[in-house]
Amino acid sequence: MSRPDPRPASDHQQRVLQAACSLFLRDGYRVSMGAVAREAGVSKQTVYAHYENKDSLFYAAIEQLVLPLHASLEPERRTLAATLEALAVAHQQHVMDRTTVALARMLISEAPRFPAAAKTFFRTAVDSLTERLALRMKEAMERDQMRQDDPDVAAELFMSMLHGLEGDRRLFGMRGRGLKAQNDWARHAVTVFMHAYDIEPDERPRKNTKPGKRTEFS
């Protein structure tokens, strides 16, 4: 699966994307291209000049949301420990963001009527990122920088640890952790994962925290 295009959008294109995101969140996937044009303050022809149809516009909007997560996996020359830490920070800042959670809620409610849109979101926001992380882990295993195992399983485990129950709390409108507590959770998830897969930290002594010890994000 291809990675999102990191090149900045033109002014008109950015206005169209912002308008599309706002309308998708407010009205669901039933939004028309004409409504997007009116919201963006551009002509309908301008919208179609950048996006062939609503599916391609929706795909581009999702790409914008996941760009920070893909950026955390670059540059590839970064150590695996630094990559995991960067991804954890990006995940807390963007996946747990209110806009992303609201979009996920919308897609869940619209999935029976618009299954293709829901699949696009999952493949673009989840699958593509996990596949890139798995490739990074496979390379680390080949270089003996990580315990030999199934890289696809390892990548999925790490993403699941970052998401935790906090993603579900926010999805269902429950009270979530504060920013500090959630960042503490992310750091702890990285530490536990690195211990489990024998990944050496970057110039930091390994701390063997006893299982069951109460942590700051409890």
- Give yes or no: residues 110 and 15 share one domain: no
Query: Which residue type occupies 114?
Result: F
pLDDT value at residue 50 = 92
112: tokens are 């029976």
For residue 70, the 8-state DSSP code is H
Domain count, the chain: 2
- Give yes or no: residues 118 and 84 share one domain: yes
pLDDT value at residue 148 = 96
- Give yes or no: residues 91 and 36 share one domain: no
Q: For residue 63, what pLDDT band results from cuts at 50, 70 and 90?
A: confident
For residue 201, the 8-state DSSP code is P
Helices (H) and strands (E) in the chain, counts: 11, 0
- Give yes or no: residues 119 and 206 share one domain: yes
- Give yes or no: residues 38 and 111 share one domain: no
**pLDDT, the chain, mean:** 84
- Give yes or no: residues 58 and 145 share one domain: yes
Q: What is the CATH number of the domain that holds 208?
A: 1.10.357.10
- Give yes or no: residues 91 and 41 share one domain: no
Least confident range of 70-79, 149-158, 182-191? 70-79
Q: Please indicate, yes or no, if residue 1 is contained in any of the structural domains.
A: no
CA 126 – CA 128 distance, rounded (Å):
6
CA 117 – CA 107 distance, rounded (Å):
7
Q: Please indicate, yes or no, if residue 178 is contained in any of the structural domains.
A: yes
CA 211 – CA 218 distance, rounded (Å):
14
77: tokens are 């020359």
Q: Please indicate, yes or no, if residue 2 is contained in any of the structural domains.
A: no
pTM: 0.75
Q: For residue 73, what pLDDT band results from cuts at 50, 70 and 90?
A: confident
- Give yes or no: residues 31 and 124 share one domain: no
- Give yes or no: residues 14 and 108 share one domain: no
- Give yes or no: residues 34 and 76 share one domain: no
Structural domain span for residue 217: 53-218
Residues 6+ apart with CB under 8 A from 182: 92, 96, 166, 176, 217
CA 209 – CA 215 distance, rounded (Å):
10
pLDDT value at residue 189 = 94
For residue 97, the 8-state DSSP code is S
Higher per-residue confidence, 202 vs 55: 55
- Give yes or no: residues 40 and 104 share one domain: no
